[in-house]
Structure 1
Amino acid sequence: MSASPSSSAQAAREALAVRLSHLRKDAGLTGRELSVRCGWHPAKTTRLQKGEAAPTDADIRAWCAACGAEDQIEDLIATARTVDSMYLEWRRLHRYGMRKVQEDFYTLHEQTSVCLVYASNAVPGFLQTSAYATTLMQSITDFQGTPDDVTEAVAARVARSRFLYEGNRRFVVLMEEWVLRSRIGDRDTMTGQLRHLLTAMPLPSLSLGVIPFTARRRMWPLEAFYVYDDRRVLVETLTAEVNVTQPRELADYRKAFGELSQMAVYGAPARALIESALCALR
Protein backbone atom coordinates (compact mmCIF):
# COMPACT_ATOMS: atom_id res chain seq x y z
CA MET A 1 0.00 0.00 0.00
CA SER A 2 1.39 3.43 -0.91
CA ALA A 3 1.88 6.10 1.73
CA SER A 4 -0.95 8.49 2.46
CA PRO A 5 -0.82 11.85 0.65
CA SER A 6 -0.25 13.67 3.92
CA SER A 7 2.72 11.36 4.59
CA SER A 8 4.07 12.15 1.13
CA ALA A 9 3.85 15.87 1.86
CA GLN A 10 5.73 15.38 5.13
CA ALA A 11 8.37 13.31 3.33
CA ALA A 12 8.86 16.20 0.89
CA ARG A 13 9.29 18.62 3.80
CA GLU A 14 11.86 16.32 5.36
CA ALA A 15 13.75 16.02 2.06
CA LEU A 16 13.99 19.81 1.89
CA ALA A 17 15.21 19.85 5.50
CA VAL A 18 17.94 17.35 4.61
CA ARG A 19 19.13 19.61 1.77
CA LEU A 20 19.43 22.53 4.19
CA SER A 21 21.29 20.35 6.68
CA HIS A 22 23.74 19.22 3.98
CA LEU A 23 24.44 22.83 3.00
CA ARG A 24 25.32 23.62 6.61
CA LYS A 25 27.60 20.59 6.94
CA ASP A 26 29.29 21.30 3.58
CA ALA A 27 30.04 24.80 4.86
CA GLY A 28 31.64 23.31 7.99
CA LEU A 29 29.21 25.05 10.32
CA THR A 30 27.60 23.81 13.50
CA GLY A 31 23.93 24.51 14.06
CA ARG A 32 24.81 27.18 16.62
CA GLU A 33 27.27 28.90 14.27
CA LEU A 34 24.72 28.98 11.48
CA SER A 35 22.11 30.39 13.88
CA VAL A 36 24.47 33.23 14.84
CA ARG A 37 25.14 34.09 11.21
CA CYS A 38 21.41 34.05 10.44
CA GLY A 39 20.54 36.06 13.54
CA TRP A 40 18.00 33.69 15.03
CA HIS A 41 17.68 31.27 17.96
CA PRO A 42 19.38 27.83 17.58
CA ALA A 43 15.99 26.19 18.22
CA LYS A 44 14.79 27.55 14.89
CA THR A 45 17.72 25.90 13.09
CA THR A 46 16.83 22.62 14.78
CA ARG A 47 13.19 22.85 13.71
CA LEU A 48 14.12 23.65 10.11
CA GLN A 49 16.61 20.77 9.95
CA LYS A 50 14.04 18.30 11.30
CA GLY A 51 11.31 19.43 8.91
CA GLU A 52 9.19 20.54 11.86
CA ALA A 53 8.89 24.08 10.48
CA ALA A 54 8.54 25.28 6.89
CA PRO A 55 11.26 27.77 5.87
CA THR A 56 10.18 31.12 4.47
CA ASP A 57 11.86 32.67 1.44
CA ALA A 58 13.80 34.92 3.83
CA ASP A 59 14.91 31.92 5.90
CA ILE A 60 16.31 30.19 2.82
CA ARG A 61 18.14 33.32 1.67
CA ALA A 62 19.71 33.77 5.10
CA TRP A 63 20.63 30.08 5.36
CA CYS A 64 22.28 29.99 1.93
CA ALA A 65 24.12 33.26 2.54
CA ALA A 66 25.44 31.88 5.84
CA CYS A 67 26.69 28.78 4.03
CA GLY A 68 28.14 30.64 1.06
CA ALA A 69 25.67 28.85 -1.22
CA GLU A 70 23.83 31.77 -2.80
CA ASP A 71 23.63 29.80 -6.07
CA GLN A 72 21.17 27.42 -4.35
CA ILE A 73 18.69 30.10 -3.25
CA GLU A 74 16.30 30.14 -6.19
CA ASP A 75 16.12 26.37 -6.50
CA LEU A 76 15.48 25.89 -2.78
CA ILE A 77 12.81 28.60 -2.71
CA ALA A 78 11.04 26.95 -5.66
CA THR A 79 11.23 23.59 -3.89
CA ALA A 80 9.91 25.03 -0.64
CA ARG A 81 6.96 26.64 -2.41
CA THR A 82 6.12 23.35 -4.11
CA VAL A 83 6.23 21.52 -0.77
CA ASP A 84 4.09 24.22 0.83
CA SER A 85 1.41 23.80 -1.84
CA MET A 86 1.21 20.02 -1.40
CA TYR A 87 -0.70 20.08 1.86
CA LEU A 88 -3.07 23.01 2.34
CA GLU A 89 -5.38 23.10 5.34
CA TRP A 90 -8.99 23.96 4.51
CA ARG A 91 -9.12 26.53 7.33
CA ARG A 92 -6.14 28.28 5.78
CA LEU A 93 -7.68 28.14 2.30
CA HIS A 94 -11.06 29.29 3.62
CA ARG A 95 -9.78 31.96 6.01
CA TYR A 96 -11.57 34.63 3.95
CA GLY A 97 -14.44 32.37 2.87
CA MET A 98 -14.94 29.65 0.26
CA ARG A 99 -15.56 31.72 -2.87
CA LYS A 100 -11.88 32.23 -3.81
CA VAL A 101 -11.15 28.50 -3.61
CA GLN A 102 -14.14 27.73 -5.83
CA GLU A 103 -12.94 30.28 -8.38
CA ASP A 104 -9.52 28.61 -8.36
CA PHE A 105 -11.21 25.25 -9.04
CA TYR A 106 -13.06 26.88 -11.94
CA THR A 107 -9.73 27.92 -13.46
CA LEU A 108 -8.28 24.46 -12.89
CA HIS A 109 -11.19 22.80 -14.71
CA GLU A 110 -10.92 25.36 -17.48
CA GLN A 111 -7.32 24.26 -18.07
CA THR A 112 -8.08 20.51 -17.92
CA SER A 113 -9.00 18.28 -20.85
CA VAL A 114 -9.75 15.04 -18.97
CA CYS A 115 -10.85 14.95 -15.34
CA LEU A 116 -11.15 11.62 -13.50
CA VAL A 117 -13.18 11.77 -10.30
CA TYR A 118 -13.64 9.23 -7.52
CA ALA A 119 -16.53 10.51 -5.38
CA SER A 120 -16.72 8.66 -2.09
CA ASN A 121 -18.40 11.26 0.11
CA ALA A 122 -20.49 13.66 -1.98
CA VAL A 123 -21.56 14.43 -5.54
CA PRO A 124 -18.69 16.22 -7.39
CA GLY A 125 -19.01 20.00 -7.44
CA PHE A 126 -19.57 20.34 -11.19
CA LEU A 127 -22.57 17.97 -10.92
CA GLN A 128 -24.14 19.60 -7.86
CA THR A 129 -27.39 21.55 -7.85
CA SER A 130 -27.49 24.92 -6.11
CA ALA A 131 -29.59 23.53 -3.25
CA TYR A 132 -27.29 20.54 -2.67
CA ALA A 133 -24.17 22.74 -2.87
CA THR A 134 -25.69 25.29 -0.47
CA THR A 135 -26.48 22.66 2.16
CA LEU A 136 -23.07 21.01 1.85
CA MET A 137 -21.03 24.21 1.86
CA GLN A 138 -22.99 25.69 4.75
CA SER A 139 -22.21 22.62 6.85
CA ILE A 140 -18.51 22.89 5.93
CA THR A 141 -18.44 26.58 6.85
CA ASP A 142 -20.16 25.90 10.16
CA PHE A 143 -17.77 23.04 10.98
CA GLN A 144 -14.63 25.01 10.12
CA GLY A 145 -15.81 28.25 11.69
CA THR A 146 -14.63 30.24 8.63
CA PRO A 147 -16.28 33.37 7.15
CA ASP A 148 -19.73 32.73 5.66
CA ASP A 149 -19.81 33.60 1.95
CA VAL A 150 -21.78 30.48 0.99
CA THR A 151 -24.05 32.25 -1.50
CA GLU A 152 -21.10 33.55 -3.55
CA ALA A 153 -19.17 30.27 -3.16
CA VAL A 154 -22.14 28.22 -4.40
CA ALA A 155 -22.46 30.42 -7.49
CA ALA A 156 -18.75 29.91 -8.24
CA ARG A 157 -19.04 26.13 -7.71
CA VAL A 158 -22.15 25.64 -9.84
CA ALA A 159 -20.57 27.74 -12.62
CA ARG A 160 -18.21 24.81 -13.26
CA SER A 161 -21.09 22.84 -14.75
CA ARG A 162 -20.69 24.86 -17.96
CA PHE A 163 -17.64 22.75 -18.82
CA LEU A 164 -19.95 19.73 -19.19
CA TYR A 165 -21.56 21.51 -22.12
CA GLU A 166 -18.72 23.52 -23.65
CA GLY A 167 -15.46 22.57 -25.36
CA ASN A 168 -14.01 19.12 -25.77
CA ARG A 169 -13.53 18.28 -22.10
CA ARG A 170 -14.16 14.82 -20.70
CA PHE A 171 -15.36 13.97 -17.18
CA VAL A 172 -15.11 10.37 -15.98
CA VAL A 173 -16.86 10.00 -12.61
CA LEU A 174 -16.99 7.02 -10.27
CA MET A 175 -19.43 7.37 -7.40
CA GLU A 176 -19.98 5.08 -4.45
CA GLU A 177 -23.65 4.10 -4.12
CA TRP A 178 -23.81 5.48 -0.57
CA VAL A 179 -23.27 8.98 -2.05
CA LEU A 180 -26.68 8.56 -3.69
CA ARG A 181 -28.24 7.47 -0.40
CA SER A 182 -26.60 9.99 1.95
CA ARG A 183 -29.08 12.74 2.83
CA ILE A 184 -27.39 16.04 2.11
CA GLY A 185 -30.19 18.46 2.91
CA ASP A 186 -33.90 17.68 3.01
CA ARG A 187 -35.87 15.32 0.78
CA ASP A 188 -36.51 17.98 -1.89
CA THR A 189 -32.80 18.81 -2.06
CA MET A 190 -31.79 15.18 -2.55
CA THR A 191 -34.63 14.56 -5.02
CA GLY A 192 -33.48 17.50 -7.12
CA GLN A 193 -29.87 16.35 -6.98
CA LEU A 194 -30.61 12.77 -8.03
CA ARG A 195 -32.86 13.94 -10.87
CA HIS A 196 -30.08 16.25 -12.02
CA LEU A 197 -27.71 13.28 -12.20
CA LEU A 198 -30.21 11.41 -14.37
CA THR A 199 -30.48 14.44 -16.66
CA ALA A 200 -26.70 14.80 -16.97
CA MET A 201 -25.95 11.13 -17.65
CA PRO A 202 -26.59 11.26 -21.44
CA LEU A 203 -24.14 14.14 -21.96
CA PRO A 204 -21.33 13.09 -24.33
CA SER A 205 -18.77 14.78 -22.06
CA LEU A 206 -19.72 12.65 -19.05
CA SER A 207 -19.14 9.04 -18.11
CA LEU A 208 -20.85 8.23 -14.81
CA GLY A 209 -20.28 4.93 -13.06
CA VAL A 210 -21.73 3.85 -9.73
CA ILE A 211 -20.04 1.32 -7.44
CA PRO A 212 -22.88 -0.70 -5.87
CA PHE A 213 -23.06 -1.65 -2.20
CA THR A 214 -22.96 -5.26 -3.37
CA ALA A 215 -19.82 -4.95 -5.51
CA ARG A 216 -17.02 -7.32 -4.61
CA ARG A 217 -14.25 -4.91 -3.60
CA ARG A 218 -11.18 -5.08 -5.78
CA MET A 219 -10.11 -1.79 -4.15
CA TRP A 220 -10.95 -0.59 -0.66
CA PRO A 221 -12.90 2.69 -0.32
CA LEU A 222 -10.63 5.72 -0.55
CA GLU A 223 -10.89 9.42 0.16
CA ALA A 224 -12.34 11.44 -2.71
CA PHE A 225 -9.79 12.39 -5.37
CA TYR A 226 -9.65 14.24 -8.68
CA VAL A 227 -7.13 13.53 -11.45
CA TYR A 228 -6.46 16.50 -13.73
CA ASP A 229 -4.96 15.26 -17.01
CA ASP A 230 -1.52 13.74 -16.31
CA ARG A 231 -0.23 16.56 -14.14
CA ARG A 232 -2.01 16.67 -10.80
CA VAL A 233 -4.16 14.74 -8.36
CA LEU A 234 -6.16 16.57 -5.72
CA VAL A 235 -7.15 14.52 -2.65
CA GLU A 236 -9.80 15.82 -0.23
CA THR A 237 -9.33 14.95 3.44
CA LEU A 238 -11.30 16.24 6.40
CA THR A 239 -8.74 18.91 7.22
CA ALA A 240 -6.80 19.59 4.04
CA GLU A 241 -6.49 19.63 0.29
CA VAL A 242 -3.53 17.47 -0.74
CA ASN A 243 -1.91 18.08 -4.13
CA VAL A 244 0.02 15.19 -5.66
CA THR A 245 2.38 15.82 -8.58
CA GLN A 246 5.06 13.13 -8.23
CA PRO A 247 4.90 10.84 -11.32
CA ARG A 248 5.01 7.67 -9.21
CA GLU A 249 2.09 8.80 -7.07
CA LEU A 250 0.14 10.01 -10.10
CA ALA A 251 0.53 6.50 -11.52
CA ASP A 252 -0.76 5.00 -8.24
CA TYR A 253 -3.92 7.09 -8.36
CA ARG A 254 -4.54 6.23 -11.99
CA LYS A 255 -4.08 2.56 -11.14
CA ALA A 256 -6.52 2.89 -8.23
CA PHE A 257 -9.03 4.60 -10.50
CA GLY A 258 -8.73 1.72 -12.95
CA GLU A 259 -9.39 -0.82 -10.19
CA LEU A 260 -12.38 1.15 -8.92
CA SER A 261 -13.82 1.54 -12.41
CA GLN A 262 -13.98 -2.25 -12.81
CA MET A 263 -16.32 -2.47 -9.81
CA ALA A 264 -18.74 0.16 -11.15
CA VAL A 265 -21.85 -0.24 -13.27
CA TYR A 266 -22.73 2.12 -16.10
CA GLY A 267 -25.63 3.01 -18.34
CA ALA A 268 -28.97 1.40 -17.47
CA PRO A 269 -27.71 -0.36 -14.29
CA ALA A 270 -26.30 2.93 -12.99
CA ARG A 271 -29.57 4.71 -13.76
CA ALA A 272 -31.40 1.98 -11.89
CA LEU A 273 -29.33 2.62 -8.75
CA ILE A 274 -30.04 6.37 -8.95
CA GLU A 275 -33.76 5.70 -9.51
CA SER A 276 -33.78 3.30 -6.58
CA ALA A 277 -32.30 6.02 -4.35
CA LEU A 278 -35.03 8.35 -5.62
CA CYS A 279 -37.72 5.82 -4.75
CA ALA A 280 -36.29 5.47 -1.26
CA LEU A 281 -36.78 9.23 -0.75
CA ARG A 282 -40.47 8.88 -1.57
Structure 2
Amino acid sequence: VTGEPLFDIEERPVPGSDVPGEQASPTQPFPVKPEPLTQNTISRDNLYQGEPQHQAYCERLVDDNNMKLGGPYMPIAPNQYSMSPPGPAGGINYWGPAYDPELHLFVSNTTNLFQPMRLVQRTNGAWANTGPLAGVRRFGDPDRRLPCGPTPWGELVAVDMSTGDVAYRKTLGVSDVLPAGLQDTGRPSTGGVVLTASGLTFVGGADDFRFRAFATATGDQLWEIRLPSSIQATPITYLGADGRQFVTVVSTGGGLTGSEVTNDEIIAFALPRN
Protein backbone atom coordinates (compact mmCIF):
# COMPACT_ATOMS: atom_id res chain seq x y z
CA VAL A 1 0.00 0.00 0.00
CA THR A 2 2.79 2.45 0.92
CA GLY A 3 5.92 0.92 -0.61
CA GLU A 4 7.64 1.02 2.79
CA PRO A 5 9.85 -2.00 3.63
CA LEU A 6 8.25 -4.55 5.95
CA PHE A 7 11.56 -5.32 7.66
CA ASP A 8 14.51 -3.14 8.61
CA ILE A 9 17.24 -2.28 6.12
CA GLU A 10 20.73 -1.37 7.29
CA GLU A 11 23.87 -0.05 5.61
CA ARG A 12 26.87 -2.38 5.82
CA PRO A 13 30.49 -1.99 4.67
CA VAL A 14 31.31 -3.59 1.31
CA PRO A 15 34.55 -4.11 -0.65
CA GLY A 16 35.99 -1.24 -2.67
CA SER A 17 36.82 -1.25 -6.36
CA ASP A 18 40.28 -1.91 -7.84
CA VAL A 19 39.36 -0.46 -11.24
CA PRO A 20 41.32 2.76 -11.87
CA GLY A 21 39.01 5.76 -11.73
CA GLU A 22 36.01 3.83 -10.41
CA GLN A 23 34.49 5.03 -7.14
CA ALA A 24 32.41 2.42 -5.33
CA SER A 25 30.19 3.25 -2.38
CA PRO A 26 31.77 2.16 0.93
CA THR A 27 28.39 0.79 2.11
CA GLN A 28 25.32 -0.82 0.57
CA PRO A 29 21.80 -1.53 1.90
CA PHE A 30 21.07 -4.99 3.34
CA PRO A 31 17.68 -6.20 4.58
CA VAL A 32 17.79 -7.49 8.15
CA LYS A 33 15.09 -10.03 7.26
CA PRO A 34 14.63 -12.38 5.58
CA GLU A 35 18.02 -14.07 5.54
CA PRO A 36 19.60 -14.47 2.07
CA LEU A 37 17.51 -16.94 0.10
CA THR A 38 20.48 -18.10 -1.96
CA GLN A 39 24.21 -18.50 -1.48
CA ASN A 40 25.73 -15.01 -1.54
CA THR A 41 29.35 -15.77 -0.61
CA ILE A 42 31.87 -18.07 -2.27
CA SER A 43 35.37 -19.01 -1.11
CA ARG A 44 38.00 -21.62 -1.87
CA ASP A 45 36.76 -23.53 1.20
CA ASN A 46 33.10 -23.84 0.16
CA LEU A 47 33.28 -25.09 -3.41
CA TYR A 48 31.38 -28.22 -4.46
CA GLN A 49 32.15 -31.27 -2.33
CA GLY A 50 30.99 -34.75 -3.29
CA GLU A 51 32.07 -36.72 -6.34
CA PRO A 52 35.92 -36.66 -6.32
CA GLN A 53 36.16 -36.09 -10.09
CA HIS A 54 33.98 -32.98 -10.08
CA GLN A 55 35.39 -31.71 -6.81
CA ALA A 56 38.90 -31.80 -8.28
CA TYR A 57 37.67 -30.10 -11.47
CA CYS A 58 36.24 -27.20 -9.47
CA GLU A 59 39.38 -26.75 -7.40
CA ARG A 60 41.52 -26.66 -10.56
CA LEU A 61 39.13 -24.18 -12.20
CA VAL A 62 39.64 -21.74 -9.32
CA ASP A 63 43.36 -22.31 -8.82
CA ASP A 64 44.45 -22.41 -12.47
CA ASN A 65 42.61 -19.16 -13.20
CA ASN A 66 43.60 -17.38 -9.97
CA MET A 67 39.95 -16.54 -9.31
CA LYS A 68 39.03 -13.86 -6.80
CA LEU A 69 36.08 -15.09 -4.73
CA GLY A 70 33.94 -12.99 -2.43
CA GLY A 71 30.55 -11.88 -1.24
CA PRO A 72 27.81 -9.33 -1.88
CA TYR A 73 28.68 -6.17 -3.84
CA MET A 74 32.30 -7.18 -4.47
CA PRO A 75 33.16 -5.25 -7.67
CA ILE A 76 34.40 -7.06 -10.76
CA ALA A 77 38.20 -7.18 -10.66
CA PRO A 78 40.47 -5.82 -13.42
CA ASN A 79 42.54 -8.44 -15.25
CA GLN A 80 41.42 -11.21 -12.90
CA TYR A 81 38.40 -13.48 -12.91
CA SER A 82 36.18 -12.73 -9.94
CA MET A 83 32.84 -13.95 -8.59
CA SER A 84 30.34 -12.29 -6.28
CA PRO A 85 27.25 -14.51 -5.84
CA PRO A 86 24.47 -14.83 -6.69
CA GLY A 87 25.52 -13.43 -10.08
CA PRO A 88 23.45 -12.79 -13.22
CA ALA A 89 22.06 -16.35 -13.39
CA GLY A 90 21.56 -17.00 -9.67
CA GLY A 91 19.10 -15.97 -6.98
CA ILE A 92 15.37 -15.78 -7.65
CA ASN A 93 16.04 -14.09 -10.99
CA TYR A 94 13.52 -12.61 -13.40
CA TRP A 95 10.68 -15.17 -13.16
CA GLY A 96 9.85 -14.09 -9.62
CA PRO A 97 8.14 -15.64 -6.60
CA ALA A 98 4.50 -16.26 -5.63
CA TYR A 99 2.50 -15.45 -2.49
CA ASP A 100 -0.15 -17.42 -0.61
CA PRO A 101 -2.35 -14.89 1.25
CA GLU A 102 -3.95 -17.57 3.45
CA LEU A 103 -0.66 -19.04 4.65
CA HIS A 104 1.23 -15.71 4.50
CA LEU A 105 4.01 -17.52 2.65
CA PHE A 106 6.29 -16.02 0.01
CA VAL A 107 7.40 -19.01 -2.11
CA SER A 108 10.12 -19.20 -4.76
CA ASN A 109 12.50 -21.59 -6.39
CA THR A 110 16.08 -20.33 -6.13
CA THR A 111 19.32 -21.00 -7.98
CA ASN A 112 22.94 -21.14 -6.82
CA LEU A 113 24.66 -20.74 -10.19
CA PHE A 114 27.57 -18.31 -10.28
CA GLN A 115 29.35 -16.59 -13.16
CA PRO A 116 33.00 -15.49 -13.44
CA MET A 117 33.65 -11.96 -14.69
CA ARG A 118 36.83 -10.11 -15.63
CA LEU A 119 37.39 -6.51 -16.66
CA VAL A 120 39.99 -5.90 -19.37
CA GLN A 121 40.90 -2.44 -20.64
CA ARG A 122 40.38 -1.89 -24.36
CA THR A 123 42.65 0.19 -26.58
CA ASN A 124 40.22 3.12 -26.33
CA GLY A 125 40.55 3.11 -22.54
CA ALA A 126 37.14 1.60 -21.80
CA TRP A 127 36.80 -1.50 -19.65
CA ALA A 128 34.89 -4.60 -20.80
CA ASN A 129 33.87 -7.90 -19.21
CA THR A 130 35.71 -10.33 -21.44
CA GLY A 131 37.67 -13.58 -21.53
CA PRO A 132 37.10 -17.31 -22.17
CA LEU A 133 35.40 -17.72 -18.76
CA ALA A 134 33.52 -14.40 -18.81
CA GLY A 135 30.35 -13.42 -20.67
CA VAL A 136 27.77 -16.18 -20.34
CA ARG A 137 30.08 -18.95 -19.11
CA ARG A 138 28.78 -20.35 -15.82
CA PHE A 139 30.99 -21.41 -12.92
CA GLY A 140 31.14 -25.15 -13.48
CA ASP A 141 31.87 -27.98 -15.90
CA PRO A 142 30.01 -27.19 -19.16
CA ASP A 143 30.44 -30.72 -20.53
CA ARG A 144 28.70 -32.38 -17.58
CA ARG A 145 26.59 -29.33 -16.74
CA LEU A 146 27.63 -29.42 -13.10
CA PRO A 147 28.08 -26.13 -11.19
CA CYS A 148 31.11 -25.68 -8.95
CA GLY A 149 29.48 -23.79 -6.10
CA PRO A 150 28.30 -25.53 -2.94
CA THR A 151 25.13 -27.59 -3.07
CA PRO A 152 22.20 -27.33 -3.12
CA TRP A 153 22.34 -25.75 -6.59
CA GLY A 154 18.58 -25.27 -6.48
CA GLU A 155 15.98 -25.00 -3.73
CA LEU A 156 12.31 -24.36 -3.06
CA VAL A 157 12.21 -21.70 -0.33
CA ALA A 158 9.29 -20.26 1.63
CA VAL A 159 9.36 -17.17 3.84
CA ASP A 160 6.77 -16.49 6.55
CA MET A 161 5.88 -12.88 5.76
CA SER A 162 4.41 -12.31 9.22
CA THR A 163 7.86 -12.79 10.80
CA GLY A 164 10.38 -12.57 7.96
CA ASP A 165 11.77 -15.99 8.88
CA VAL A 166 12.42 -18.79 6.40
CA ALA A 167 9.65 -21.36 6.88
CA TYR A 168 11.39 -24.13 4.94
CA ARG A 169 14.06 -24.94 2.39
CA LYS A 170 13.74 -27.99 0.15
CA THR A 171 16.36 -29.20 -2.30
CA LEU A 172 14.90 -28.88 -5.80
CA GLY A 173 16.26 -31.08 -8.57
CA VAL A 174 18.68 -33.94 -9.14
CA SER A 175 21.89 -34.33 -11.14
CA ASP A 176 21.40 -37.55 -13.10
CA VAL A 177 24.99 -37.51 -14.37
CA LEU A 178 26.37 -38.08 -10.86
CA PRO A 179 26.62 -41.53 -9.23
CA ALA A 180 23.75 -42.88 -7.16
CA GLY A 181 23.80 -41.43 -3.67
CA LEU A 182 25.28 -38.13 -4.87
CA GLN A 183 22.50 -36.96 -7.18
CA ASP A 184 20.44 -35.00 -4.64
CA THR A 185 22.21 -31.74 -5.46
CA GLY A 186 19.38 -29.46 -6.50
CA ARG A 187 19.46 -27.96 -10.00
CA PRO A 188 19.51 -24.45 -11.48
CA SER A 189 16.14 -23.09 -12.58
CA THR A 190 14.70 -21.08 -15.44
CA GLY A 191 11.05 -20.48 -14.57
CA GLY A 192 9.15 -19.87 -11.35
CA VAL A 193 6.37 -21.33 -9.22
CA VAL A 194 2.59 -21.15 -9.42
CA LEU A 195 0.42 -21.59 -6.31
CA THR A 196 -3.16 -22.84 -6.17
CA ALA A 197 -5.90 -21.93 -3.69
CA SER A 198 -6.02 -25.61 -2.70
CA GLY A 199 -2.53 -25.38 -1.21
CA LEU A 200 -0.34 -26.73 -4.00
CA THR A 201 2.91 -25.35 -5.40
CA PHE A 202 3.82 -26.36 -8.96
CA VAL A 203 7.36 -25.81 -10.24
CA GLY A 204 9.12 -27.08 -13.34
CA GLY A 205 11.98 -24.64 -13.77
CA ALA A 206 14.76 -27.00 -12.65
CA ASP A 207 16.82 -28.21 -15.61
CA ASP A 208 16.47 -31.91 -14.73
CA PHE A 209 13.39 -32.43 -16.98
CA ARG A 210 11.05 -32.88 -13.97
CA PHE A 211 7.74 -31.19 -13.17
CA ARG A 212 6.83 -31.30 -9.48
CA ALA A 213 4.03 -30.46 -7.05
CA PHE A 214 4.57 -29.60 -3.39
CA ALA A 215 2.38 -28.87 -0.38
CA THR A 216 2.69 -25.09 -0.04
CA ALA A 217 2.34 -25.18 3.76
CA THR A 218 5.18 -27.64 4.38
CA GLY A 219 7.24 -27.91 1.20
CA ASP A 220 6.71 -31.68 1.09
CA GLN A 221 6.85 -33.08 -2.43
CA LEU A 222 3.57 -34.71 -3.47
CA TRP A 223 4.04 -35.54 -7.15
CA GLU A 224 6.67 -35.68 -9.89
CA ILE A 225 6.78 -36.50 -13.58
CA ARG A 226 9.70 -36.59 -16.00
CA LEU A 227 9.11 -34.69 -19.26
CA PRO A 228 10.92 -34.83 -22.63
CA SER A 229 12.83 -31.65 -21.68
CA SER A 230 13.16 -29.10 -18.92
CA ILE A 231 10.55 -26.37 -18.50
CA GLN A 232 11.79 -22.91 -19.40
CA ALA A 233 8.97 -20.75 -18.02
CA THR A 234 6.60 -20.42 -15.08
CA PRO A 235 3.54 -22.74 -15.28
CA ILE A 236 0.08 -21.27 -15.73
CA THR A 237 -3.17 -22.54 -14.23
CA TYR A 238 -6.70 -21.94 -15.48
CA LEU A 239 -10.25 -23.30 -15.41
CA GLY A 240 -11.12 -25.34 -18.50
CA ALA A 241 -14.43 -25.30 -20.35
CA ASP A 242 -15.31 -28.62 -18.70
CA GLY A 243 -14.89 -27.13 -15.21
CA ARG A 244 -11.57 -28.80 -14.45
CA GLN A 245 -8.48 -26.90 -13.34
CA PHE A 246 -5.50 -27.23 -15.68
CA VAL A 247 -1.80 -26.60 -15.10
CA THR A 248 0.14 -26.02 -18.32
CA VAL A 249 3.86 -25.78 -19.04
CA VAL A 250 6.18 -25.10 -21.96
CA SER A 251 8.63 -28.00 -22.40
CA THR A 252 11.56 -27.05 -24.65
CA GLY A 253 14.90 -27.01 -22.85
CA GLY A 254 17.52 -24.34 -23.50
CA GLY A 255 17.50 -21.12 -21.52
CA LEU A 256 19.90 -19.58 -19.02
CA THR A 257 20.95 -22.93 -17.58
CA GLY A 258 22.06 -24.33 -20.95
CA SER A 259 19.67 -27.27 -20.72
CA GLU A 260 19.48 -29.52 -23.76
CA VAL A 261 16.89 -28.52 -26.36
CA THR A 262 15.09 -31.85 -26.72
CA ASN A 263 11.44 -30.93 -27.16
CA ASP A 264 9.01 -28.27 -28.41
CA GLU A 265 5.63 -28.77 -26.75
CA ILE A 266 2.98 -27.18 -24.56
CA ILE A 267 1.89 -29.84 -22.04
CA ALA A 268 -1.29 -29.56 -19.95
CA PHE A 269 -2.15 -31.51 -16.79
CA ALA A 270 -5.54 -31.99 -15.09
CA LEU A 271 -7.30 -34.40 -12.75
CA PRO A 272 -9.48 -37.09 -14.39
CA ARG A 273 -13.05 -36.06 -15.21
CA ASN A 274 -14.48 -38.64 -12.82
The interval holding the TM-score normalised by the smaller chain is under 0.3
Larger RCO, structure (CA 8 Å, separation 6 or more): 1
TM-score between the two structures when normalised by the length of structure 2: 0.26
Q: Which has the larger radius of gyration?
A: 1
Higher normalized strand content (fraction of residues): 2
Higher normalized helix content (fraction of residues): 1
